[in-house]
Amino acid sequence: MRLRVLGSNGTYPTPGQPCSGYLVEAGGTRIMLDAGPGTVAAWQEADPAGHLDALVVTHAHPDHCSDVFHLFNLLRFGPNSRSGLPALAPDGVAAALAAFLGVGEDHAFHRVFAWRTVAPGDSVQVGEAALAFAATQHQLPTLGVSVSVPGRRLVYSADTGPGGGLPALAAGADLLLCEATLQGEGADGGWPYHLSAAQAGTLAREAGVGRLLLTHLAPMLDPARSAAEAAATFGGPVQWAAPGMEVEV
């Protein structure tokens, strides 16, 4: 299994750094996790042929889903047009996106994407990949995602505070792609809906994951400092999920 980082900025994009979006290649199956601003262009760069088997939208915050609109237009009008792309999201996300477009159930938005509501505890097979979902601690319904193939498993935190279902979902994962929005002393108590780098490291240690990739850093932060803070509490290998990075899981 392979993970490609399309973008990893938290909150807003900066030049050359899209927001959250990741391409998972599980055998011959390709799944896009989140579609933050800038990620659809990065996905086209990564795969000009546009092979995609499913989209997962973890929650309705724009830094995780605003490029759904551009993916819709690309799939509808672009060179590799198609319909029926499975799109998995928490309850209400598809309706919220459709409402922004002002379209009803009969619109192409509901044909280009085959929307499917997923809930905490659900398991979904997409091609060669087994997906599982858990509710995270965030301001609105948000799902952490586990993607596994026989013998290997990665878990993506989406956005989360230190509680919720992520710690259990992450237990024993080979790779944890974990948000680390905050940094530095005092960050741990500052915001219940996001993690500091140190908290991400603690979560990774307690979950017994093999490797930690930090993502969703607030754009002004120094990624090297976040990686050092997470390494101090994790005790295992830590990297920042730089845009364009590819890792074998």
Give the nearer residue to Zn ion in terms of CB position, either 4 or 61: 61
Q: Which is nearer to Zn ion, 65 or 75 (CB)?
A: 65
CB of residue 211 vs Zn ion: minimum separation in angstroms?
24
Tell me the closest approach of the beta carbon of residue 59 to Zn ion, in angstroms: 6
Q: Minimum distance between the CB of residue 151 and Zn ion, rounded to whole angstroms? A: 31
Of residues 94 and 126, the one with the C-beta less far from Zn ion = 94
Based on CB atoms, which residue is closest to Zn ion, 160 or 202? 160
Q: Is 4 in the site for Zn ion (CB under 5 A)?
A: no
SS3 labels along the chain: CEEEEEECECCCCECCECECEEEEEECCEEEEECCCCCHHHHHHHHCCCCCCCEEECCCCCHHHHCCHHHHHHHHHHCCCCCCCEEEEECCCHHHHHHHHHCCCCCCCHHHHEEEEECCCCCEEEECCEEEEEEECCCCCCCEEEEEEECCEEEEECCCCCCCCCHHHHHCCCCEEEEECCECCCCHHHCCCCCCEHHHHHHHHHHHCCCCEEEECECCCCCHHHHHHHHHHHHCCCEEECCCCCEEEC
- Smallest gap from residue 215 Cβ to Zn ion (A): 12
- Of 56-64, 68-76, 91-99, 202-210: span binding Zn ion (CB under 5 A): 56-64
Residue 216 as a binder of Zn ion (CB under 5 A): the answer is: no
In the complex, minimum distance from the CB of residue 62 to Zn ion, in angstroms, rounded to a whole number: 9
CB of 10 to Zn ion, least distance (A): 8
Q: How many residues bind Zn ion (CB under 5 A)?
A: 2
Structure tokens at 192: 């219940």
Question: Which CB, 57 or 88, lies closer to Zn ion?
Answer: 57
CA–CA distance, 60 with 62 (Å, rounded to integer):
6
Do the Cβ atoms of 215 and 9 come closer than 8 Å? no
Q: Does 61 bind Zn ion (CB under 5 A)?
A: yes
Quick one: 148 or 196, whose CB is closer to Zn ion? Answer: 196
Which 153-182 residues touch Zn ion, going by CB under 5 A? 159
Give residues in contact with Zn ion (CB under 5 A).
61, 159
